[in-house]
Amino acid sequence: MQQIFFLLIEAQRGNPDAEAQLLSMFEPLIYKLSQQHGLFDEDCKQHLTIEFILAVRRFDLSRYLEIQA
């Protein structure tokens, strides 16, 4: 879990390698969700990949991390 938080922070700072690593971690799920009626749908996969990247960029980590002053 800490690795995901670290990668999220790095991806939000503009690190393309962190973004690619997150995408790689979640690619099996994206692939699974891209199947329609038992057939792979490339357009669906592309759409889900774009939505995943946008979700990573706008994810609010402060809601899930304890911030100590």
Rounded Cα distance between 46 and 25, Å, is: 16
Average pLDDT, the chain: 91
In the predicted model, what is the mean pLDDT of residues 48-67? Answer: 89
Q: How do the domains of the chain map onto residue ranges? A: 2-63
Q: Is the pTM of this model over 0.95?
A: no
Residue 54, CB-side half-sphere exposure with 13 Å CA sphere? 6
Q: How many CB atoms lie within 10 A of CB 7?
A: 20
Q: Which pair of structure tokens corresponds to residue 42? A: 């490339």
Residue-level pLDDT at 69 = 45
Chain segment 3-27, per-residue pLDDT in tens: 998 999 999 999 999 999 999 999 9
